[in-house]
Amino acid sequence: MPDVKVSEVVGDSSMPAGRFARESGAAGRIADLAEPVLSELGFRLVRVQVSGRDGHTVQIMAEREDGYLTIDECETISRELSPVFDAYDIIEGAYRLEVSSPGIDRPLVRPVDIERWAGQEAKVELAEAIDGRKRLRGTIEGFSDGEVRLVIDLPDLDGPRVIGIKPELIASARLVMTDELMRAAAERWSAKKGPAAGEGQEMDIELEKEDGADRRERKPAGAAPDRGRGGAREVDRPADRDRRHGGRHPKGG
């Protein structure tokens, strides 16, 4: 099969509960501090980003187990994380702490994310190239046998294929903003109570630390969230694939 490597499956084939996307450096250290605090509060960490915006900005992206987060919950997370970060001096000098929800075109960081959004389009960036290709785009089929299953249709392939990607090979993955995704997200949110961050009512809870003083403010988010070694192998089940997806497959990219 050209340009999609069929490789031996490596490691445990059971569905892991933790994130397969992990930060490094300062963001990794912050994630290690944040995860147990969030877990105790009943939330899950999605992603940590540290940037030079506005001096230093630490963004904590979090969610409940159902994948959502309210404005009040953002405030709760900020209030609980701030003293922990202060105690460990996560950033030298002043910094801004932002807490936000994943948003609609969210990062996919756990097997449960893959299962929850099966049928939607996703972009996957690999940690290392497979036959010269590091970026894939396709329809999520699900998580099975320890792999992320993705239906891809590349110009140089003989029709759509289902491939299995080991989580440790994924550098990043996120949903693609489409009309279908927006409809699906709206249906899910309509069943939720309270103002959900990411519904156009998203709030970033910012904590600026300067000269030993804290200043907390509640304000509308200025922008939406940023839009190991393993292997990948083709999962050649065309009959099952066509029955599940109705013969419609996304373009590769």
CA atoms of 81 and 37, how far apart (whole Å):
7
Summarize pLDDT for 64-117 with one digit per residue, the tens: 998 889 999 999 999 999 999 999 999 888 899 999 999 999 999 999 999 999
Superfamily of domain 25-103+193-220: RimP-like superfamily, N-terminal (3.30.300.70)
Q: Is pLDDT at 225 greater than 90 in this prediction?
A: no
Say if residue 128 is exposed, middle or buried (CB neighbours under 10 Å; 0-12, 13-18, 19+): exposed
Span 226-251, mean pLDDT? Answer: 42
Contact 69, 43 (CB under 8 A): yes
What band does 200 get if pLDDT is binned at 50, 70 and 90? very low
All structural domains of the chain with their residue ranges: 25-103+193-220
Q: Is 102 helix (H, G, I), strand (E, B) or coil?
A: coil
- What does the mean pLDDT of the chain come to? 77
CA atoms of 79 and 118, how far apart (whole Å):
34
DSSP one-letter code for 225 = S
Which residues are within 8 A (CB) of 223 and not within 5 positions of it... i.e. 6 or more apart?
none
Exposure on the CB side of residue 154, measured as CA atoms within 13 A: 15
CA atoms of 107 and 175, how far apart (whole Å):
7
